[in-house]
Structure 1
Amino acid sequence: MKTPTLAASLLASAVLLAACAGRDVPRPDTGASLGLAEPLPPPSMSDPAVQVAPVDVFFAAIASHCGQAFEGRVRVDTPASPDDAFSGKTLVMHVRECGADEIRIPFHVGEDRSRTWVLTRTAGGLRLKHDHRHEDGSADAVTMYGGDTATAGTASRQAFPVDADSIANFQREGLTASLNNTWAIEIVPGRTFVYELSRPNGRLFQVEFDLSRPVPPPPAPWGREALAD
């Protein structure tokens, strides 16, 4: 997929939102801080004339921030990880590539550009995968793991229980603690984005990003430099 420029990605977001809502969407204000456009609102679910599935509102809400990057913080880490890879690091997510059926969101941890969240439409909902790469762009041994939505979710939160392919990958690599993972994403457009990992044993990890304060986009994630703007 070709990486959109900021203007093109915002236009794509507007088209997507209009398609979901069945009405025109005004052009975003381009005079915001850092020269980035203000996020577009997701289609309203309160309008009786508009029937939009929660998953469509959720997907469109993320797409409305396409081209923008945001800094975050670890909100919850219970129990605390003994080998915390996030401590003292700048955490930045970048809604970098947006299409009608897929959104790619690199998650940078300091200088580590190995992680990308890949959100894809499916026949029954959404799929979340984690694309992990080495600095040379090659795939990590543990990559493209995640799962599909098992319920309709809401316009602001979708959960992704671990799928069979991911379980097989974790077993092969000896990651038994991850066999019962559930990931979730929450979004309040223009306010917050939360990435979550939970397990039945009480493990809970959340990173929260401030969507009200865009930051300059980071470099391309490893393996996607050819798609840099």
Structure 2
Amino acid sequence: MTTRPLARRALAASCVTLLLGACASTGPARLPASQEAFWDALSSHCGNAYAGALASSDERDADFVGRDMVAHWAECSDSRVAVAFHIEDDEAPGGWDRSRTWVVTRTSDGLRLKHDHRHADGYEDAVTQYGGDTLSTGTARVQDFPVDAESVVMFVEEGLDQSLTNVWRVEVDDEGEPGARFAYQLTRRNDPTRLFRVEFDLTRDIAAPPPAWGW
């Protein structure tokens, strides 16, 4: 008389074990060691904000010269890190351009960088959600993101032919590492003279800014 209830309990326990195993398997896929180390370094700054500035000297970026900049790790999860990029701008609401957010996500094949561009009213810009995926495992500190096909289509539609060979780079050190830096860089495969680079001092965090537009 007791075998059936025991069997049912055993079956129930087995089902729970299977369900827990299924839930555990839905987490982010394991990345190559260098990308896992990069992800850990990037995630170590969650919630922090840091001051930075333009580090390149391309004349095409003259409008950025001398402006204060802030990188704010505004949102983090097991699969996504969103870093808001704030630029001092006297003509923007409140004196700051808060239109840009860099979003790094884990994929089944590596890492992906997308650019979330919005207006002060929160609506997306016509040129937004562009970026690319890693094509190599990179290093624990540096990952490159060549432009993806979806972004190329959008750039063509928007008349941005100069951006068809973009390669974005993100560099990051662990929180607490001596001389830690964070850098965002843009180059172009068809234009060796193009270089846009901003750097941030990760050794000292600052007060978090207001949210990026639309966030």
TM-score band, normalised by the shorter chain? 0.7 to 0.9
Identity of aligned residues (%): 49
Aligned pair 1:67/2:44, yes or no? no
Question: In structure 1, which of residues 86, 106, 122 is the aligned counterpart of residue 64 of structure 2?
Answer: 86
What amino acid sits opposite 2:37 in the alignment? V
User: Tell me, what secondary structure is at the counterpart of 2:35?
Assistant: helix
Partners in 2 of 1:84 and 1:76 — Cα distance?
10
Structure 2 residue aligned with 1:34: none
The reply to whether residue 210 of structure 1 matches residue 195 of structure 2 is no
User: Given that residues 117 and 128 in structure 2 are in contact (C-alpha distance below 8 angstroms), is that contact kept between their aligned partners in structure 1?
Assistant: yes
Counterparts of 2:38 and 2:63, CA distance in 1: 29
Q: CA deviation at 1:84?
A: 3.2
Which one of 144, 147, 150 corresponds to residue 159 of structure 1?
Answer: 144
Cα distance in 2 for residues equivalent to 1:158 and 1:96: 20
How far is the alpha carbon of 1:133 from its aligned partner?
Answer: 0.2
Corresponding position: 1:56 with 2:56? no
SS, match of residue 55 in structure 2: strand
- TM-score after normalising by structure 2: 0.77
Residue of structure 1 equivalent to 2:186: 197
Give the gaps of 5 or more residues in structure 2: 1-26, 89-95
Does structure 1 residue 96 correspond to structure 2 residue 74? yes
User: Is the Cα contact below 8 Å between 2:99 and 2:117 reproduced in 1?
Assistant: yes
Q: 1:123 aligns with which of 108, 121, 124?
A: 108
CA contact (8 A) 2:54 2:199 kept: yes
Letter in 1 for 2:197: Q
Q: Which amino acid aligns with 1:65?
A: H
Structure 1 residue 52: Cα displacement: 6.6
Give the corresponding residue for 1:169: 154
What is the root-mean-square deviation in Å for CA atoms of aligned residues? 1.8
Gaps of 5+ in 1: 1-18, 21-50, 225-229
Distance in 2 between residues matched to 1:125 and 1:152, nearest whole Å: 7
Query: Aligned with 2:57: secondary structure?
Result: strand
One-letter amino acid matched to 2:84:
P
Q: d(CA) in 1 for partners of 2:209 and 2:200?
A: 15
Count of equivalent residues? 174
In 1, distance between residues paired with 2:103 and 2:39? 12
Match of 1:178 in 2: 163
Q: Which has the higher helix share?
A: 2
* Residue identity in the other structure for 1:198: T
Letter in 2 for 1:213: R
Match of 2:86 in 1: 108
Are the equivalent residues in 1 in contact too, given 2:122–2:213 (CA < 8 A)? yes
Partner of 1:219: 210
CA distance in 1, matches of 2:63, 2:212: 17
- Could you say which structure has the larger radius of gyration? 2
User: Quick check: 2:53–2:66 contact (8 Å CA) kept in 1?
Assistant: no
